[in-house]
A = this chain, B = another copy of it.
Amino acid sequence: MAVAASVSRATAARALSHHGYVGDETATRVQEAADRLGYRANRVAQALRSGQLPIAGFIPGDIQNPFFAGIAHDLEVELRKHGHNLLIASSGDNAAQERELLESLRALGLCGFVLTPASAASSQHIAKLARDGVPCVLIDRVAKGARCDSIVVDNVGGARAAVDYLVANGHRRIGFLRDDSQIFTAQERLAGYLRALTGHGIVPEKQLIARSRSVVEHAIAATTRLFRRRNKPTALFTVDSLMTQGALLGLRAMGLQVPHDVSLIGFDDFSLATFTDPQITVVAQPTAEIGALAARLLIERLAGDMADPQHIRFPTQLIVRGSVSCPPAR
């Protein structure tokens, strides 16, 4: 390539990267030669020199969850504008796998990460990442002790709003369907649920809280368990859209009608919610903003921004549809 333009490799590199002094005429000559030959700098070689591949890593719990798929898309679009690509590796909400993934991807020289920590507690690996100066933004969940940017939503407030609304409709036995993991959001949402109940003078009951993996099939089983008991809840609050789906299916299988027999509110809006009859009342998150903002934060860090980590918390919004009514008379 350099020889085609009859200049040294050094000059060619300067011309193409617009760095340092290059004569105008030389610059155009190099440019033309490059175009003619369809030359593209080997990014791996560049990465070896610079220590950084132009690839960011996204480590969500599960790319099949539409919430994460949407964010992945937005990240990708935004990063691409700045010449970066996106590598996606799902952790399955498993902290050990997350750590392993992170380690192997660091050896790959990725320039930064966007991740959804699988566990609020065991997050030394993330703290270390940040300590080593690898740009890293946490979304949806935070990790204790990691000095990095984070973007979350008001989980406590969202859960409270849901429970308040159920109580206002006369419910006092409100079930809570949460996922089984150490996930930060589930903990916060549980806190909001408990606080709201207490605020209304209702004593939380352990038997009304069901756990399952965040997988539709498991959520169905958990729902069934919850509603098989004699003193069943009159309403149910689910912590994410996969669990909401499971609950819907579980209730249907038991012949329980929403909202006639059971009222339902889910955390996280999802397309399915408006296709059911009745439509599902949900606590919505600003999904469209999270991915783009995360990308922007990451890009600023990549550009060398060393300011203190930013911790952003978006509000949530209760979207009232038709899945809540007054509890059935006894």
Contacts and interface: CB of A to CB of B under 8 A. Distances in A.
A292 interface: no
A63 B55 contact: no
Contacts of A40: 103-104, 106-107
A90 interface: yes
Given A40-B107, A48-B44, A272-B271, A73 B66 contact: no
A69 B76 contact: no
Interface string A73-108: 100100010000111111000000000000111111
Contacts of A86: 87-89
Interface of A: 40-45, 47-48, 53-55, 62-64, 66, 69-70, 72-73, 76, 80, 85-90, 103-109, 216, 245, 248, 271-272, 275-277
Q: Considering the complex of A and B, which 10 residue pairs feature the smallest CB-CB distances, nearest first?
A: A40-B107, A44-B109, A69-B69, A277-B277, A43-B108, A87-B87, A44-B47, A88-B88, A48-B48, A64-B69
A63 B66 CA distance: 9
Contacts of A277: 276-277
Nearest to A79: B89
27 contacts: A40-B104, A40-B107, A41-B107, A42-B107, A43-B107, A44-B48, A44-B108, A44-B109, A53-B108, A55-B55, A55-B87, A62-B73, A63-B72, A63-B73, A63-B76, A66-B66, A66-B69, A72-B88, A73-B90, A85-B108, A86-B87, A86-B88, A87-B87, A87-B88, A216-B271, A272-B272, A272-B275
A177 to B, nearest CB: 17
Contact of A89 (B54, B76, B103, B275): B76
Nearest to A55: B87
Contacts of A245: 271, 275
Nearest to A51: B44
A64 B73 contact: yes
B109 A42 contact: yes
A238 B29 CA distance: 53
Contacts of A106: 40
A15 B44 CA distance: 25
A19 to B, nearest CB: 18
A60 to B, nearest CB: 10
Contacts of A62: 73
Contacts of A108: 43-44, 53-55, 85
Contacts of A248: 275
